[in-house]
Amino acid sequence: MRLLELDHQLQYAEHAFGTISEGEKPLTDTDDLIRAYTEVLGPIAHMRQVHGSRIVYTSEPGCIEEADAIYTDNPDLWLAVKTADCVPVLISTPHAVAAVHCGWRGLEAEILPQTIKLLMDEYNITAVDVFIHIGPCISQSKYEVEAEKYQAIFDEKHFKPAGKKGYVLMDLVGIAIDQARELGVPKNHIIDSGLCTYQDKDLFHSYRRAKQEGQEGYNVQCSLVKRFEQ
């Protein structure tokens, strides 16, 4: 495990994206993975993600059971979201930070706007106080899905034709950005890393790539955020 050097930093927070180290033995056990990040960064809170809409506050390191978004106002605590194609969304505000796991089910359940609304209400802020960085995830060009199923859920503009009949290419990042923008988060407060887990094989693990290549199981990487001490 290593951390990518980032060109952009969030307002009010520091953040990091994990990646594969050359010659590294994959860490398939979540506890081992979090332990490796902890040795580099310090205390981490993470989640047993279930593609749901549960949002949990935490001030302590450790695993939160059955959640897909966590937030904290503790400046000594990193928050981690584990992904292998889904969209990791890191949020910073003047008083708190959040880490959100957005697969298509989470986007359908609107866990991202729910998290933003919660932060706005709980910390008495507005959408212009919110900053977002979208981490490595599968890009639209590599995310082929059944047209009938997914076009019934999301807006037509988030799809492009695929080379296979009955399938389309779905833009998870575009959906996430639109959900944040609809709440009033300014466009220039949203940074998309543009990193594709499927295409960047030397950097990231990908569930879909592993499945298509016939690998048994798959690994994940972490996207992390920690609030600056005010």
What CATH number did the domain enclosing 49 receive? 3.60.140.10
pLDDT of amino acid 118 = 99
Per-residue pLDDT tens for 30-62?
888 899 999 999 999 999 999 999 999 999 999
Residues 203-217 have pLDDT tens digits of 999 999 989 998 866
Model confidence at 6, pLDDT cuts 50, 70, 90, reads confident
Whether 180 is covered by a domain: the verdict is: no
In a domain, 144, yes or no: no
Within-domain flag for 117: yes
Instruction: Measure the CA–CA gap between 4 and 227, rounded to whole angstroms.
Output: 19
Asked if the model's pLDDT at residue 18 lies above 80, the reply is yes
pLDDT recorded at residue 217: 64
Q: Is residue 122 part of a domain?
A: yes
The answer to whether residues 99 and 88 touch, using CB atoms and an 8 Å cutoff, is yes
pTM of the shown model: 0.95
Q: Give the residue numbers spanning the domain of 199.
A: 2-138+186-227
Structurally, the chain folds into a number of domains equal to 1
Flag whether pLDDT at 22 surpasses 80: no
Residue 179 lies in a domain: no
The pair of structure tokens assigned to 225 is 């955020």
Q: Judge whether 79 lies within some domain.
A: yes
Tell me the two tokens of residue 26.
């994959």
Establish if 56 belongs to a structural domain: yes
Per-residue tokens: 202: 């030397």
Say if 158 falls within a structural domain: no
- Range with the lowest mean pLDDT among 74-83, 89-98, 133-142, 203-212? 203-212
Q: For residue 126, what pLDDT band results from cuts at 50, 70 and 90?
A: very high
3-class DSSP state of 210: helix
**d(Cα 151, Cα 135) in Å, to the nearest integer?**
24
